[in-house]
Chains A and B, each alone.
Chain A
Amino acid sequence: MRNTLRWSAVLTGMLLVLAACQPASSGSPGQSTAESASAAASVDAAAVCAADEAGCVEIPSGEPLHIVFWGVLSGADSTLGEDSKRGVEIAIDDINNTLLGHDIQFSTEDGLCTPEGGNTAAQKLAADTTIAGLIGPSCTDESLGGMQTLYDAGMTTISSSATRAGLTVPDRPAEYAAFLRTAHSDYFQGRMVAEYLYNELGLKKLATVHDGSGYAKALAEVARTHFEELGGTITTGGDQAIAKTDTDMSAVLTAIAADPPDAIFFPVFIAGAGYLTDQAKDTPGLEDALLMSADGTFSPDYIKAAGPAALGHLISSPDTSKFAAGYQDFLAKHKAKYGGDPLSIFHAHAYDAATLVFAALEKVALTDADGTTFIPRTAYREALYASKDVEGLTGPLNCNASGDCGAPILAVYKVTAREVGPPVVWPPEAPIWAPEPDFYTK
């Protein structure tokens, strides 16, 4: 008997809750006056949202506006994502945590720098209807894994560090309409590496190593192709690959040493690059080979991973010395907030991505009489693509139809005794070489 009573109480409670929810969705007669008053004011918002293919993000008055950064936040490459995340956080601080009259709620999603991780993260993001602005991912592989899901959900993301050339070519797959970036394209990075090694250093024989990731494989290929176009040769067995989980590189290095190259370019991530650098010095035949990695290793973690062998190592990466004047302020803010220098190279790109997101949100947002803000998703995407002459930390930002928003400014850095330490000091003071400005227009 007591049980029956308890159950009926629970049931009644649930019914009451349901009844309370009802008016919000369908509009009961009792509330019609209030409803119609706000409906009249929001006529254009409702019409715009109905007309927008992907509908609207609704932010009720007093609720926060949700901005998300997604990227690699754990594992060996986490400095890459953490660095970008900090860029976004500082951008949010710079607009005093408010946008369109709402406080900003900032959260993150870990994409693990893998296609599977990117896919999982994208599914979580697509299921969250509160998200107004999306910045990320860190890695090309995360983009490859997650883009279809985001596109299907009508969302748009802007990445600060996914650099594979194919992500922003004019004939990219349709779902990449959901992808823009402030990072450079590896079309330029790969060519710059080839030009530096061949033209500047006069090296003739190159070998490359990738790790099977979408980023490394494509970048190594651009570098090899352009090196050959310039007149250089790729050594026999000069196109090598490792697995991302490998620790013992001796077989790959021995294979390369069978036909010793002048330089080995390995645009892999931090752990792999650390093993390769450390173990190459012990491989007979590779004592004099120049070792070079790419922007994915522009991090103090790389120096820690490679140890003393990192001395003299070359890294291709964005050229911070050519960033806009505001970059020095950014560094000061970074130091004040996190107590140190940036962890990687894409923080300014992330800051710029956030700037573009804020500007596009402001451009398309509609607010009704209740103070509810509506973000039509397709209009927001179009606004991002229409971004022109926005002042960014990395330079002026202009998005083109294939999703490139930043101007590529790259350079070559060399690791010196100052960085190797101990203790490890980061970042290097200045790049040792940069291409002529007309390199990017050729």
Chain B
Amino acid sequence: MYARVMERITDVAIAGVLWGFRIAVVLLVVVGSALTLGGGRHSAESWLSLIVSGAVLGSIYALIALGYTMVYGILRLINFAHGEIFMAGTFGGYFVATALSGIGFLNLNPITSIISVVLMMAGAIVVSVTLALLVERIAYRPLRNAPRLVPLISAIGASFFLQYTFRGFFGPGIYAYPTVGILDAQVPLGIEGFRVKWIDVLVIVSAVVMMAGLFLFVQRTKLGTSIRAVSEDKATAALMGIDVNRAIVMTFAIGAAMAGAAGVLYGLIFRQVYFFTGFVPGIKAFTAAVLGGIGNIPGAMLGGIFLGQVEGVGPTLFLSGLGVPSPNQLRDVIAFTMLVLVLIFRPSGILGERVAQRA
């Protein structure tokens, strides 16, 4: 009797703390936002700028997050080397870009610039996909039937291996993407105090196009169907005559292609790349995948965009009104608090995890 009462009290206490946490966060967000908006220090134009920068960041996170979520969906594996696949893409794009810039093709005229960006993407995708397939073949396939923790450790090892291999080849210094003139120019919107560069448009549009393409591919094509079938049940899919290895390799290739493309977009916006470039975006994209519901493709897209907005707008909106000094230093705190909240209150992510059929 006593034990049951104690148990009940503990349950209530835990629920109370969680509710208190929930209320505190909601209060912080509501009061902070109200004070910030009421304070009127930021014009509508600056809010627009923040939203655009959040969308740009979010698009890149979403593209990387797709790789995490697809691999998780099919293998139940967090592919921690995915950030490094992205980093390899930034390097691939960089070398194509400097080569094209060196012969004067990059900024010759708008058409050559567009061709150049396409070539950079192609270069990055080739590098990323090759690397991802090698990692899959060497580090994951031999462990396919091992306990789930084993390939996870192997993934972390692969991540370090790739980072320090790149450091060995290219040194610890910074490489900077050359500027592509037409992308660095501003979109003539005619709004005073608000600017969007063509590169921002390119990032958002190409992310949307790629994600829509992926969604259609997975839903409508035969190969996409086979990927979904393997994701649901490997053994049964194999019995139905689906080549399981082919579906898994395709998944890695598609995820890596998205990461490679994201790498070029990242390089074009932020310019600087070095061997450690993949680490932070990798962690953030993983967060985005979990936020949206890991294993769920639309969830990763939504999670990426959502995380981008939280980082772009969040610190200013929630914290600056509360008088927190230099709120932007805390953007990672906000992003990861969001992750903790989702894990506590909706462990399967915003759109729900797609692993239900497996006991």
B179 and A307 form a contact (CB under 8 A) = yes
B173 and A78 form a contact (CB under 8 A) = yes
For residue A64, CB closer than 8 A to chain B, the reply is no
CA A247 – CA B271 in complex, angstroms?
Answer: 10
Known A-B contacts A240-B326, A284-B194; the reply to A258 vs B173 at CB < 8 A is no
For residue A48, CB closer than 8 A to chain B, the reply is no
Known A-B contacts A242-B329, A255-B320; the reply to A275 vs B42 at CB < 8 A is no
What's the nearest-Cβ distance from chain B to residue A344, in Å? 12
Residue of B nearest to A308 (CB): B179
For residue B292, CB closer than 8 A to chain A, the reply is no
CA A278 – CA B272 in complex, angstroms?
Answer: 11
For residue B190, CB closer than 8 A to chain A, the reply is no
For residue A292, CB closer than 8 A to chain B, the reply is no
Kindly supply a per-residue 1/0 record for chain B positions 77-112, scoring 1 wherever the CB is within 8 Å of any chain A CB and 0 otherwise.
000000000000000000000000000000000000
Contact of B316 among A236, A255, A304, A308 (CB under 8 A): A255
A301 and B174 form a contact (CB under 8 A) = yes
For residue A22, CB closer than 8 A to chain B, the reply is no
What's the nearest-Cβ distance from chain A to residue B341, in Å? 20
Contact of A76 among B42, B57, B274 (CB under 8 A): B274
For residue B280, CB closer than 8 A to chain A, the reply is yes
B172 and A74 form a contact (CB under 8 A) = yes
What's the nearest-Cβ distance from chain B to residue A306, in Å? 8
B271 and A305 form a contact (CB under 8 A) = yes
What's the nearest-Cβ distance from chain A to residue B267, in Å? 11
Kindly supply a per-residue 1/0 record for chain B positions 315-339, scoring 1 wherever the CB is within 8 Å of any chain A CB and 0 otherwise.
1100010000111110110000000
What's the nearest-Cβ distance from chain A to residue B61, in Å? 11
Kindly supply a per-residue 1/0 record for chain A positions 268-284, scoring 1 wherever the CB is within 8 Å of any chain B CB and 0 otherwise.
00110011001000111
Instruction: Enumerate A116-172 residues with CB–CB distance to B below 8 Å.
Output: none
For residue A250, CB closer than 8 A to chain B, the reply is yes
Chain B residues near A283: list those with CB within 8 A. Answer: 49, 195
Instruction: Enumerate B276-330 residues with CB–CB distance to A below 8 Å.
Output: 276, 280, 311-313, 315-316, 320, 325-329
Interface of A, secondary structure class, is: mixed
What's the nearest-Cβ distance from chain A to residue B337, in Å? 15
B329 and A212 form a contact (CB under 8 A) = yes
B272 and A271 form a contact (CB under 8 A) = yes
Residue of A nearest to B56 (CB): A248
Kindly supply a per-residue 1/0 record for chain B positions 171-201, scoring 1 wherever the CB is within 8 Å of any chain A CB and 0 otherwise.
0111110010000001000001111010000
Kindly supply a per-residue 1/0 record for chain B positions 125-147, scoring 1 wherever the CB is within 8 Å of any chain A CB and 0 otherwise.
00000000000000000000000
For residue A101, CB closer than 8 A to chain B, the reply is no
Known A-B contacts A248-B53, A248-B57; the reply to A254 vs B42 at CB < 8 A is yes
A251 and B331 form a contact (CB under 8 A) = yes
For residue B46, CB closer than 8 A to chain A, the reply is yes
For residue A46, CB closer than 8 A to chain B, the reply is no
CA A343 – CA B41 in complex, angstroms?
Answer: 42
Contact of A282 among B43, B172, B195, B327 (CB under 8 A): B195
CA A285 – CA B186 in complex, angstroms?
Answer: 15
Chain A residues near B2: list those with CB within 8 A. Answer: none
What's the nearest-Cβ distance from chain B to residue A269, in Å? 11
Residue of B nearest to A110 (CB): B172
Residue of B nearest to A303 (CB): B176
For residue B45, CB closer than 8 A to chain A, the reply is yes
Chain A residues near B329: list those with CB within 8 A. Answer: 212, 241-243
Chain A residues near B62: list those with CB within 8 A. Answer: none
For residue B8, CB closer than 8 A to chain A, the reply is no
Contact of A258 among B42, B197, B326 (CB under 8 A): B42
Chain B residues near A78: list those with CB within 8 A. Answer: 172-173
For residue A246, CB closer than 8 A to chain B, the reply is yes
Chain A residues near B276: list those with CB within 8 A. Answer: 75-76
In the complex, which of the residues A78, A79, A248 has the most CB atoms of chain B within 10 Å of its own CB atom?
A: A248
For residue A311, CB closer than 8 A to chain B, the reply is no
For residue B50, CB closer than 8 A to chain A, the reply is yes
B46 and A258 form a contact (CB under 8 A) = yes
A282 and B197 form a contact (CB under 8 A) = yes
Chain B residues near A245: list those with CB within 8 A. Answer: 280, 332
Known A-B contacts A212-B329, A245-B280, A284-B45; the reply to A307 vs B271 at CB < 8 A is yes
What's the nearest-Cβ distance from chain A to residue B243, in Å? 40
Chain B residues near A242: list those with CB within 8 A. Answer: 328-329
A241 and B326 form a contact (CB under 8 A) = yes
A79 and B173 form a contact (CB under 8 A) = yes
For residue A295, CB closer than 8 A to chain B, the reply is no
A305 and B176 form a contact (CB under 8 A) = yes
For residue A415, CB closer than 8 A to chain B, the reply is no
A274 and B271 form a contact (CB under 8 A) = yes
For residue B346, CB closer than 8 A to chain A, the reply is no
For residue A73, CB closer than 8 A to chain B, the reply is yes
B41 and A258 form a contact (CB under 8 A) = yes
A270 and B328 form a contact (CB under 8 A) = no
Instruction: Enumerate B45-68 residues with CB–CB distance to A below 8 Å.
Output: 45-46, 49-50, 53, 56-57
In the complex, which of the residues B56, B173, B320, B327 has the most CB atoms of chain A within 10 Å of its own CB atom?
A: B173
Given contacts A245-B332, A251-B53, A275-B270, 6 further A-B contacts (CB under 8 A): A76-B276, A236-B41, A239-B325, A240-B326, A251-B312, A283-B49
The 5 closest A-B pairs by CB, nearest first: A241-B326, A241-B329, A250-B53, A74-B172, A78-B172
Q: A residues bordering B, Cβ < 8 Å?
A: 73-76, 78-79, 210, 212, 236-237, 239-243, 245-248, 250-252, 254-255, 257-259, 270-271, 274-275, 278, 282-285, 301, 304-305, 307-308
20 residue pairs A–B, Cβ–Cβ below 8 Å: A74-B167, A76-B172, A78-B172, A236-B41, A239-B325, A240-B326, A243-B328, A243-B329, A245-B280, A248-B56, A248-B270, A248-B311, A250-B312, A255-B316, A255-B320, A271-B174, A283-B49, A284-B45, A305-B174, A307-B271
